Amino acid sequence: MIESYHLDLLPTRYYSIILSKMNELANTLSKNKWERIGAAKRAGILVPLFSVYSEKSAGIGDLADLKLLVDFCAKTGNSILQLLPMNEVGSTFCPYDAVSSFAIEPAYVSLEDIPGMDAAAFKKRIVDLKKRFSAGKKYVDYGVKDKKIDLMWDLFYEEGGASSAGYKEFRENNSYWLDDFAVFKTIKEFHEGKPWYEWEDGYRERDPSKLEFFENKFRKEIAFERWMQWVLYGQFVAAKAYAASKGVFIKGDLPVLISRDSADVWAHKEFFKLDLAAGAPPDMYCAKGQRWGMPTYSWSAIESDGYKYVKERMAYAGNFYDIIRIDHVVGLFRIWSIPCNDLPENAGINGFFDPRDEKEWEAHGKRSLSVMLHNTDMLLCSEDLGMIPDACPKTLKEYGIPGNDVQRWTKDWAVRHDFLPPEEYRLLSVAMISTHDTTNCAAWWENEAGTVDEQLFKAKCGERGIDYDSVKDEIFDSSLSRHGRLRWLTGVDSVDAYMEILGKKRSELPDFIDMYENTFMEKEKLWKMLGLKGSMREESDDNILGAVMEMTFRSRSIFCIQLIFDWLGMAGLLKGDPYQYRVNMPGTVSDKNWSLTIPLSLDKLIGHDICGGMKELISGSGRE
């Protein structure tokens, strides 16, 4: 049950400061975007489409279900519906490793609304498909994708292909990417799903005569791929129009990278550095860093082409979204690049920042963001988490682009070593409790708050000649350490006591001290900030989750967008260990990544008591 926790309202004078700051947006490159959206404090909800379903869904949430999500937003007082990337995915179903920067994922097609479909002729097949891939299981069975495509192919074949004026206009307007994508998908099927760099000679290098022969031979199959994207386009555009009628903005997600095995890379190899793999450097949450595998960009080649690739991406996304989140925006300034011939087990250890010269980073990021801003009506937001150089937040503020303030990481890391109170969040930010890459709030509270990464701490001990096995039990509480996280013993209550156990001087271990100061007694610090009564509790509950939720809604941030699983957890709808309710575990490939679903249908969710509690909390915070 969601209750109201009535944290103290921010002073009236504080809102006048917010309004004056809003006026500053008129002097940024985002001015016209803010005028269109309205510079108001808004609430939103982040919902992966694969995580929801309705009574009409076939195994996975579809584009028709977006209308139910819009209804849910309208009923709960949320004016922003945020989605994960909707691009077509590959075999790992990761939306950030898509096979196209443009094409929409076919699994999301609604079988109830296909142009030209004889509903009676296909009704039994649709019913059978829904029985075989029943929605409502804990994880999505992506086998439904191929079955949906099979049905769509039969429909396309029976109807004689696409001949409407709408289809022809769609093809003409999207000639930059559509034909390349359709040919790519068809050749990939011809090669039994192998990546393009393992195709036969001629196909791999895009030999014109070989491609012409192939296109003539497989004309209908290629036409089907184009038609499928037209159907998806129409359904998505209709959902956006419905959202507009309800006063809800749709926020999309623009992955900064694209799969190595993608139509983009195959068609424009010159735009990519194929000898490098993108990733992230080591940090306190990931000791070896990360190796994502996608190629990095050759920005000089993209610039030489007049940034047409970037302009076309922005133009197509604008058909579906009012707001767009730029994933890993710091990658536009500099990106962690790992030689492809480096051993996979090294993850991101042996990478480097590209460009290598830090003096180039600001101009590099500004050029890319300027092109995006000047070629879209969408409001740009950004994911600016991780190790961020000063040039990035400086540019975002200058351009009027909000970043992310995630509660668990929104701290004064240098002086107070404590969470920032709501009035100190960045105005130009999206406040949130969790992301799709993190644990939900309850799981963080129970397993990660007040901890350090075991692998990282162990590696640092090895670098400094400290015997990890001999000191760990003097520093960490084994009964509260789990999931690769080490929880500090409360008795290690000073840096001096910590250094004495490690047998080192302060000057020798500044990084160890930094880990300690920013995580020791973390739960107790947050408990105090939230003003919760009684002794700090180890297990999460509705009171703790509700207080954290309300604090972020009361924050200075112009937007506050919460992951649907945090709402469901606060309402008591997630049963068992909250750690199991995770959308993605970064750096891993698993059938549990990108497939988690909510425990009730959208039809039932809209009628649940959760709606009234959400609306009360949101309206009480002064958001719309």
* 126-152 per-position pLDDT tens digit: 999 999 999 889 999 999 999 999 999
Average pLDDT, the chain: 93
Q: Quick check: 162 pLDDT over 80?
A: no
Would you state the structure tokens that stand for residue 314, as one six-digit string? 């922005």
The type of residue at 272 is F
* 502 pLDDT tier (thresholds 50, 70, 90): very high
Confirm if 262 and 102 have CB atoms less than 8 A apart. no
In sequence order, the β-bridge partners of residue 45 are 81, 562
Nearest Cα neighbor of 333 from 310, 377, 303, 299 is: 299
Q: Quick check: 612 pLDDT over 80?
A: yes
Residue 284: per-residue pLDDT:
67
Nearest Cα neighbor of 425 from 69, 24, 41, 38 is: 41
Q: Quick check: 200 pLDDT over 90?
A: yes
3-state helix, strand, coil in the chain (%, to 5): 45, 10, 40
Burial category of 345 from C-beta neighbours within 10 Å (exposed 0-12, middle 13-18, buried 19 and up): exposed
Residue 317: per-residue pLDDT:
98
Residue 552: per-residue pLDDT:
97
Residue 407: per-residue pLDDT:
98
Average pLDDT over residues 344-364: 96
Q: Quick check: 287 pLDDT over 80?
A: no
CA distance 12 to 624: 18
* 504-531 per-position pLDDT tens digit: 999 999 999 999 999 999 999 999 999 9
Average pLDDT over residues 470-491: 97
In DSSP notation, 20-55 reads HHHHHGGGSTTHHHHHHH-S--EEEEE--GGG---T
CA distance 391 to 364: 10
Neighbouring residues of 286: CB distance < 8 A, sequence distance ≥ 6: 280, 347, 348, 453, 456, 586, 587
The type of residue at 607 is G
Q: Which residues of 219-249 are buried (b: 16+ CB within 10 A; e: fewer)?
A: eebbbbbbbbbbbbbbbbebbbebbeeeebb
* 181-197 per-position pLDDT tens digit: 999 999 999 999 999 99
Which segments of 418-508 are extended strands (E)?
418-419, 429-432, 451-453, 485-487
Q: Name the pairing type of β-strands 352-354 and 335-339.
A: antiparallel
* 116 pLDDT tier (thresholds 50, 70, 90): confident
Quick count: other Cβ atoms within 10 Å of Cβ 143?
12
Q: Name the pairing type of β-strands 276-280 and 80-82.
A: unpaired
CA distance 312 to 308: 6
Q: Quick check: 466 pLDDT over 90?
A: yes
Confirm if 409 and 529 have CB atoms less than 8 A apart. no
Q: Quick check: 279 pLDDT over 60?
A: yes
Q: Quick check: 547 pLDDT over 90?
A: yes
Average pLDDT over residues 301-328: 98
Q: Quick check: 364 pLDDT over 80?
A: yes
Average pLDDT over residues 389-402: 96
Confirm if 355 and 410 have CB atoms less than 8 A apart. no
Residue 187: per-residue pLDDT:
98
Confirm if 253 and 85 have CB atoms less than 8 A apart. yes
Q: Quick check: 3 pLDDT over 90?
A: no
Residue 119: per-residue pLDDT:
65
CA distance 339 to 324: 31
CA distance 340 to 464: 30
Nearest Cα neighbor of 385 from 358, 411, 403, 361 is: 403
What are the structural domain ranges in the chain? 268-401, 452-520
Q: What are φ and ψ of residue 80, in 5° steps?
A: -130, 130
The type of residue at 130 is K
Would you state the structure tokens that stand for residue 52, as one six-digit string? 């929801």
Average pLDDT over residues 496-504: 97
Burial category of 616 from C-beta neighbours within 10 Å (exposed 0-12, middle 13-18, buried 19 and up): middle
* 542 pLDDT tier (thresholds 50, 70, 90): very high
Q: Quick check: 9 pLDDT over 60?
A: no
* Helix or strand holding residue 550 (H, E): helix 542-553
* 434-462 per-position pLDDT tens digit: 999 999 999 999 999 999 999 889 989 99
Residue 95: per-residue pLDDT:
96
CA distance 250 to 326: 14
* 11-59 per-position pLDDT tens digit: 444 444 555 566 778 889 999 999 999 988 999 999 999 999 999 999 9
